[in-house]
């Protein structure tokens, strides 16, 4: 089995988020940070169903960012042979690590017995990790680590320790636990004792995820749970500077969103309307830099349908 070590440059990690953390968005967020305040990121999941992913597909998914902050490739699927073959492609595409998704609660994933549906059976989790760890160790000469990301359980969190052990036994070098179960979706309330249970069950490092809302929560999550790493999802969409805790001006926020807008619009299939849609997705949960006015003006921002008007509004804040 592999002796690969984790490539992260600090304990704070950006979560994979499908539909958001594509190469364009990731490149911008990584560019805001030093390797000391953001230790690593993940691609959104690459879904493996009817056939394994080829190297060029994985390369596109990873993007070509030259940041020193490592990016792991996340795979989701239920067929061990196709997943292992795709993991071999990930090694050739230069992925810093290969991560396995055991958390996705979407209907499509459940129907295909992938993502969180595998949490019903720790043995199948272990077998999947083992298949991928063996393929990646073989293909990379033991250089590239395999990691896994799971929810705390399917219907309840009673098996969190057994699932963590299955991931460790399978040969993963890190386990990220999103503390909500599949049944809990994205509920507001979180129970971090589940993270502590997972961390105590295994000797590989565990990454705490779920409900980290502000910079100070990063270290608090590590202290309260005994996890070695902490990962932020949605709060980083609302404040991409959350990893450094830097307080940013309204103008810097507007600059970030304009840069994101322009990068999407300039991408091969990009349109102004598509870019506006992505920006609105971020604006709905934006918290940094007092960017969005309160009250009625807020809904004007969030309900805006005209891309040109929205873009002018952002440019007006650059000063």
Ligand X SMILES: Cc1cc2nc3c(=O)[nH]c(=O)nc-3n(C[C@H](O)[C@H](O)[C@H](O)COP(=O)(O)O)c2cc1C
Q: What is the binding site for ligand X (CB under 6 A)?
A: 15-20, 44-45, 74, 101, 103, 149, 178, 209-212, 232-235
**Please, which residues have CB within 8 angstroms of residue 251's CB and are 6 or more apart in sequence?**
289, 317, 318, 319
CB nearer to ligand X: pick between 81 and 187: 187
CB 238 within 8 A of CB 282: yes
Which among 121, 200, 188 is positioned nearest to 153, based on CA atoms?
121
Cβ 297 to ligand X shortest distance, Å? 26
Residue closer to ligand X (CB basis): 218 or 311: 218
Q: How far is the CB of 55 from ligand X (least distance, A)?
A: 21
CB 30 to ligand X: min, Å: 16
Query: In whole angstroms, how close is the CB of 51 to ligand X at the nearest point?
Result: 20
The C-alpha atoms of residue 119 and residue 316 are separated, in whole angstroms, by 49
Which position has the token pair 């709905």? 284
Q: Is 122 or 233 the residue whose CB approaches ligand X more closely?
A: 233
The residue of the chain with the least Cβ separation from ligand X equals 233
Measured between its terminal Cα atoms, the distance across the chain in Å is: 55
The active-site residue, picked from 104, 179, 207, 227, is 104
Please, what is the minimum distance in Å from the beta carbon of residue 232 to ligand X? 5
Going by C-alpha positions, the residue among 78, 74, 87 that lies closest to residue 121 is: 78
HSE-CB of 243 using CA atoms within 13 angstroms: 30
**Closer to ligand X by Cβ: residue 19 or 316:** 19
Q: How far is CA 88 from CA 49, 66, 135, 141, in A?
A: 16, 22, 6, 11
Instruction: CB nearer to ligand X: give 227 or 311.
Output: 227
Q: How far is the CB of 215 from ligand X (least distance, A)?
A: 13
Structural Rg of the chain based on CA atoms = 19
Q: Is 104 a catalytic residue?
A: yes
Pick 166 or 311: Cβ nearer ligand X: 166
- Residues known to be catalytic: 104
């Amino acid at each position: 089995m592999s002796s690969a070590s984790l490539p992260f440059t600090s304990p704070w990690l950006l979560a994979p988020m499908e539909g958001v953390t594509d190469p364009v968005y990731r490149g911008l967020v990584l560019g805001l940070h030093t390797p000391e305040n953001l230790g690593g990121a993940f691609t959104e999941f690459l879904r493996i169903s009817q056939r394994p992913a080829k190297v060029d597909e994985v390369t596109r998914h990873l993007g070509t960012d030259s940041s020193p902050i490592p990016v792991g490739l996340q795979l989701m699927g239920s067929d061990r042979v196709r997943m292992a073959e795709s993991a071999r492609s990930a090694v050739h595409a230069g992925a810093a690590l290969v991560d396995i998704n055991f958390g996705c609660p979407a209907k499509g994933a459940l129907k295909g017995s992938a993502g969180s549906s595998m949490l019903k059976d720790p043995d199948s989790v272990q077998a999947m990790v083992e298949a991928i760890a063996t393929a990646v160790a073989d293909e990379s000469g033991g250089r590239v680590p395999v990691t896994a990301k799971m929810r705390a359980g399917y219907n309840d969190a009673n098996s969190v320790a057994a699932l963590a052990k299955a991931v460790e036994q399978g040969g993963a070098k890190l386990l990220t636990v999103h503390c909500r179960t599949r049944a809990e979706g994205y509920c507001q309330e979180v129970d971090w004792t589940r993270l502590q249970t997972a961390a105590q069950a295994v000797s590989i490092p565990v990454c705490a995820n779920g409900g980290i809302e502000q910079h100070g929560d990063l270290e608090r999550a590590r202290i309260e749970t005994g996890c070695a790493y902490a990962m932020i999802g949605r709060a980083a969409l609302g404040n991409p500077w959350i990893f450094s805790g830097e307080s940013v001006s309204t103008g810097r926020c507007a600059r970030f969103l304009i840069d994101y807008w322009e990068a999407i619009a300039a991408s091969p299939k990009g349109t102004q309307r598509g870019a506006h849609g992505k920006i609105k997705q971020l604006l709905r949960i934006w918290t940094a830099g007092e960017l969005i006015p309160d009250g009625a003006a807020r809904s004007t921002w969030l309900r805006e349908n005209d891309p040109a008007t929205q873009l002018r509004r952002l440019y007006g804040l650059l000063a």
